Amino acid sequence: MTMRYYELGTTGIQVSAMALGCMSLTPAREGESRDAVRRAYELGINFFDTADVYGRGESERILGEALQVGAIAREDVVIASKCAIVFPGMEPDYEYKAYDLSPTYIKASCEASLKRLGTDYIDLYQLHRIDYLTHPAESARALEDLQREGKIRHAGISNYTSDEIRALSSYVRLESLQTQFSLLFLEPLERGLAAVCQEKKMNMLCWSPLHQAVLTGKVGLPHSDWQKQREAGVVAQLLPFAERYGLSLGQLALAWLLQLPGGVIPLVGTANAAHIEEAAAAVDVTLERDDWYELMVIARGRPMPWGQRPYAYVKER
């Protein structure tokens, strides 16, 4: 396996074509988590994504300690974190789940993340969810202040719509969008998110690229849930393709994402070193164009072209 690298947005920073999603780094699996970080780095993965709400800060702490224990130089890795989601109990002022992108909150969150990560700077600081009560110009000013202070190098967003990306990017340079994207979740293509990222020269970071492990074929899908049965039907149709290319189902699903232009980066969320090794092998795979489109049609459940609206899967009442 040879890891590929992309430029992160327009920053000049080279990041691996696959990133380790660190939500699975938990105190209950701390030793395993440290091993996973080390193995990811050995495989050429230099991009690590976490957030202040993952384990309410524990993921950041474990990632920072894993890099130090593994004697991995800070300048050899790219750390991404996020802020904005406030769960009850995280802050004394919040008794209900809220979103806060006010300058005061962004700056305080960044300081707390830096302390937990044990670092002086965060390479990519992402706004985790839109906050409707804060004007994008205010959030942009806070990000630029943090850049001037050297506490963050670059800014990105997570779970934003196309219009929300355009609104914020008119005030501050954004290098990436993190969004759900997989063969079983095609909205980034169908709703124009991929196109906006190409327009703005932003990387797209894909969370849940294996659709909560459904695309590995190792998850039982109940007959009582029609949506799960639809997913099971898609997985069954992917099997012949995986066999033809000599891949696991998960590798096939990751290779499909990796073939998209513009630096589309799957976030492989696991604390299992063996799973990281399996996933990393997908970077060497190139699918035939005909197969790539056939996989899309299978997953979409409706033929091309895009002028046809995809089916709206709405459960019966």
Q: List, for residues 13-29, the tens digit of each pLDDT value.
A: 999 999 999 999 999 99
How far apart CA 31 and CA 280 sit, in angstroms, is 21
Residue 316 has pLDDT above 50, yes or no: no
Q: Is the pLDDT of residue 310 over 60?
A: no
Q: What is the pLDDT of residue 314?
A: 46
| Residues classed as catalytic | 54
Task: For residue range 192-243, list pLDDT tens digits in order.
Answer: 999 999 999 999 999 999 999 999 999 888 888 888 898 999 999 999 999 9
pTM: 0.94
According to DSSP, the residues that pair with 28 across neighbouring strands are none
**In the chain, domain spans:** 5-213+261-286
* Residue 95 reports pLDDT greater than 90: no
| Extended beta strands in the chain, E state | 5-7, 14-16, 19-21, 47-49, 78-83, 85-86, 98-99, 122-127, 152-158, 176-180, 203-207, 264-269
Among residues 271, 105, 301, 29, the alpha carbon closest in space to that of 186 is found at: 301
β partners of residue 178: 158, 205
Q: What's the pLDDT band for 70 if we cut at 50, 70, 90? A: very high
Q: How far apart are CA 258 and CA 309, in angstroms?
A: 25
Look at residues 61, 72, 74 and name the one whose alpha carbon lies nearest to residue 121.
74
Q: Tell me what pLDDT residue 306 has.
A: 58
Q: Look at residue 91 and tell me whether its pLDDT is greater than 80.
A: no
DSSP type of residue 311: P
How much is the mean pLDDT over the chain? 93
Strand partners, 266: 206
Confidence of residue 309 (pLDDT cuts 50, 70, 90): low
Residue with tokens 């002022």: 93
What is the distance between the alpha carbons of residues 283 and 242, in angstroms, rounded to a whole number?
15
Structure tokens belonging to residue 141:
């000013």
Q: Look up residue 286 and give its two tokens.
A: 């190139």
Q: Please check the confidence at residue 77 and state whether its pLDDT lies above 90.
A: yes
pLDDT of residue 202: 98
User: Could you read off the pLDDT of 257-271 as tens digits, one per residue?
Assistant: 999 999 999 999 999
CA neighbor of 127 nearest in space, from 171, 91, 88, 159? 159
CATH code: domain 5-213+261-286 is 3.20.20.100
Identify which has the larger pLDDT, 65 or 89: 65
